[in-house]
Amino acid sequence: MSEPTLYEKSVPGRTALRLPELDVPEAPLPQELVREGLNLPELSQLDVVRHYQTLCERSFGVDSGFYPLGSCTMKYNPRVGEAVARLPGFANAHPLQPVEQVQPLLVLMFDLQTWLAEIGGFAGVSLQPAAGAQGELTALLMMRAYHEARGEGARSQVLIPDSAHGTNPASTTMAGLSVLELPSDERGNIRLDALRAACDESVVGLMITNPNTLGLFEQQIEEVIALVHACGGLVYGDGANMNALAGVLRPGDLGIDLMHYNLHKTFSTPHGGGGPGSGPLGAAPALVDYLPGPVVEHDARSYRFATPAKSIGRMCTYHGNFAMWVRAWAYIALHGAAGLRKNSLHAVLNANYLRVRLHDRYRVPYDRINMHEFVCRGDVGAEGSGLGAADVCKRLIDHGIHPPTQQFPLIVEQSLMIEPTECESRETLDAFVSAMLEIEREAREQPELLREAPHAGPVRRLDEVAAARRRILRDAAGLEEEKA
Ligand SMILES: *Cc1c(COP(=O)(O)O)cnc(C)c1O
């Protein structure tokens, strides 16, 4: 079923491009630029266009259908963002251009820093980090620098709830710090007694996602933050779930010291397929001087790049993913404070609607009012059927629906994490509910339908572990299986 590669479609002598007649004297290429024996596919332009169009049609994105991938906020990317990101003044700017030539770009960066700081309740924002995970690493490096400056550089422990996203412990390890996992209670909150016991002078800080990855608001957030601050630790907010809060609650007002924003989630810049992303970082007054630079500042006459006084340095080459900032700027400008608030409220409403419509058929382990997403269990069917979240996900593909996140968070067995976003209509949500209810009925009556799904689509059930571990690479020389 796999599509032949461009190499397999290659026909010797066929070309996609004809260069115009030479009207200058012919000159040899510098020898170091010449590579002999490059075996490139030879195809017509139409062959190439059809090849990529075919692959494109086999793919699934927010523009093709419902995409309730929890924690990822796969919301619609308004086309105006694409239009402005492509304006020649933005698209053709070069990062090494003198700042006098690109003042409007710096104005846009300054606006975005200011708006994000306002939305999150922070004293300052750096646009440097290129993703949420890089924002986490940045924040941990800042926390380390902050403690070192106060003569407390021996602090080494980062507290992370067991519901956290895998990037939290990974970033901690990358920052040279160690992880102490905190258990959740039966309501999905951090267990305060465990937190209290962990809080001492070894603590760098706490990383907290609120609402957490169960889609639940941390009900004792103020006590949690107070406990960490009381032992000299800092509180990091994983801002991936800001789509529940933007315009409603400012994490900085709760006492959170640092937080990343995922522009590619909350602020509707396209994502998936590995980027580009953008994970700006907000900081409370005590930490703004440690932010990575450059950040944009201005006086009455002009805008310029500056490095905060105690900056930990740069997190990426040049300035970051500028085109994402243009899209996020456009999104915020388009909606305004009232619009962002309305989006958050609708995102929460849509997710609660789905939970209430499904919770009789899919067990919801923490069945309380949720925020922008919720987690239910995918082990449906008769006792001992062996069916799980993966089978439900595969069967959803037959309904033209992208599967929700599954097997995360780890504290719920066979978890399905469902995030509809504010963009979806009542009809789409109802169609999803119908599909889920039908799948649950099939699980009881015809379990093989789930076990063998998907039945439609370009490929049937894949062995996803083998696909990652035993890659089959193809090139001009043919097939080659990679040895594990
Ligand atoms: C997406 C996500 C991250 C990581 O963000 P990236 O931009 O993908 O690096 C971290 N935490 C949570 C809860 C997330 O959903």
Identify the CATH number of the domain in which residue 360 sits.
Answer: 3.90.1150.10
Averaged pLDDT of the chain: 94
CA distance 292 to 289: 9
Structural domain boundaries enclosing 184: 80-335
Q: Are residues 331 and 344 in the same domain?
A: no
pLDDT of residue 484: 46
Q: Are residues 343 and 331 in the same domain?
A: no
Å from CA of 139 to ligand 1 middle: 14
In a domain, 474, yes or no: no
Q: Are residues 324 and 461 in the same domain?
A: no
CA distance 9 to 52: 13
pLDDT of residue 58: 87
Residue 257: other Cβ atoms inside 10 A = 27
Q: Are residues 189 and 160 in the same domain?
A: yes
Residue 47: other Cβ atoms inside 10 A = 16
CA distance 207 to 44: 53
Residues 396-424 have a mean pLDDT of 96
pLDDT of residue 457: 78
Q: Are residues 295 and 168 in the same domain?
A: yes
Å from CA of 165 to ligand 1 middle: 7
**CA separation, residue 216 to residues 285, 351, 465 (Å):** 28, 11, 30
Question: Looking at the predicted structure, is the pLDDT value of residue 483 above 60?
Answer: no
Q: Are residues 120 and 190 in the same domain?
A: yes
Is 409 near ligand 1, meaning CB less than 6 Å away?
no
Q: Are residues 331 and 342 in the same domain?
A: no
In a domain, 48, yes or no: yes
- Structural domain total, the chain: 3
In a domain, 484, yes or no: no
Q: Are residues 438 and 309 in the same domain?
A: no
pLDDT tens string 208-244: 999 999 999 999 999 999 999 999 999 999 999 999 9
In a domain, 482, yes or no: no
Q: Which residues of 186-205 are buried (b: 16+ CB within 10 A; e: fewer)?
A: eebbbbeebbeebbeebbbb
Q: Are residues 114 and 178 in the same domain?
A: yes
Is 131 near ligand 1, meaning CB less than 6 Å away?
yes
Domain end (from 314, 335, 356): 335
Domain end (from 287, 313, 335): 335
Grade residue 36 by pLDDT with cuts at 50, 70 and 90: confident
In a domain, 249, yes or no: yes
Q: Are residues 151 and 20 in the same domain?
A: no
In a domain, 66, yes or no: no
Among protein residues, the one whose CA lies closest to atom 5 of ligand 1:
132
In a domain, 198, yes or no: yes
In a domain, 71, yes or no: no
Helix (H/G/I), strand (E/B), else coil: 268: coil
pLDDT tens string 362-381: 999 998 999 999 999 999 99
First and final C-alpha spacing in the chain: 24
Among protein residues, the one whose CA lies closest to atom 7 of ligand 1:
132
Instruction: List phi, psi (to 5°) of 159.
Output: -90, 130
Q: Are residues 300 and 417 in the same domain?
A: no
Question: Looking at the predicted structure, is the pLDDT value of residue 174 above 80?
Answer: yes
Domain end (from 335, 361, 386): 335
pLDDT tens string 251-296: 999 999 999 999 999 998 888 766 689 999 999 999 999 999 999 9
pLDDT of residue 328: 97
What would the two tokens of residue 64 be?
């093709």
Question: Looking at the predicted structure, is the pLDDT value of residue 477 above 60?
Answer: no
Q: Are residues 342 and 322 in the same domain?
A: no
Is 74 near ligand 1, meaning CB less than 6 Å away?
no
Å from CA of 184 to ligand 1 middle: 20
pLDDT of residue 443: 98
